[in-house]
Structure 1
Amino acid sequence: MKEQQIIDFLKIRDYDIRKTQNARWIDQKCTPDVLSIVADCILEFTQYNIEKSFSIRDIWDSPYTNENVKMIFSKPDLNSDFSMHKYDKFFSQPVKLLAYSGILFETKTGNRNIYTIQNIELLEYLMQRETNALKFLILYIQKVLMDSGVEPNI
């Protein structure tokens, strides 16, 4: 995926937070390394099927996710009592970013948010390497700030 394709994806969306009132367009756990592994875990859970819906808990409970997050981040088991609060943020914040950006589609079923993949090419791009996730984050943040009337002072 070329940088221009990301720009084109972002260009057709309006990320103005004054309109959406969504303060969760990015958050503390939305770092390139975390975004990349969460994208990987989503693709693994859905088996690259854009019609397969999932919740954050589905991704969290996946054996693939547990094994890889423990190995890559030297974290405790995802199901330990110690980690419950930490992992809630670890998964929910990047998934919310992916939904706000338009890579995932979010719906509400009862009190649960359910997601489907809306742009598999971009999700695959994020999964491939952390530098891809970093490039996306830079372009995405710039676009949200620009749409929201925040001009960078560079």
Structure 2
Amino acid sequence: MRNKNPKSTLFLKHQKPPKQPKAKRKSDYIPGFNYIFQDGYLSKVGLSETPKSRHYFLSREYQAPLQIRAIVFTMNMRLTEKTIHKIFKRWNVYRTYGLDGRTEWFEAPPYRVLLMQVTLFLICWLVNFAYLALALLILMFFSSLVFR
């Protein structure tokens, strides 16, 4: 019997399905919050529009009482998160396969958590300052056109 759907394939339990390219989500490049949650010696750096809800969801999914270490507002959640991940890439660890956010965990003893917090605050400050400077430049440009 022929398979009706040529795209459907069978994967054995030990095989992983091929990765589908991630589509850019509209919500990734808008203002929101970046956070650091901690579970023992592991810390998660992520983004969310509702970080308290995200904390609750991840605590239930990982079945661990995650501690909130930082929640910071930024004008570009994705840019901030990518920057933090690149800076701390050396200490990146993967959690259980199949869980949400499993690739965003980092080995973080107490001194590194403090370093991650300071870095997150500085990057958010720079991103917000850049957006403010850009808005002021655009405002100055249009006001110079109007009030000539």
Select the structure of larger CA radius of gyration: 2
Comparing both structures, which one devotes a greater share of its residues to helix? 1
Q: Which has the higher contact order (CA 8 A, sep 6+)?
A: 1
Q: TM-score, normalised by structure 2?
A: 0.31
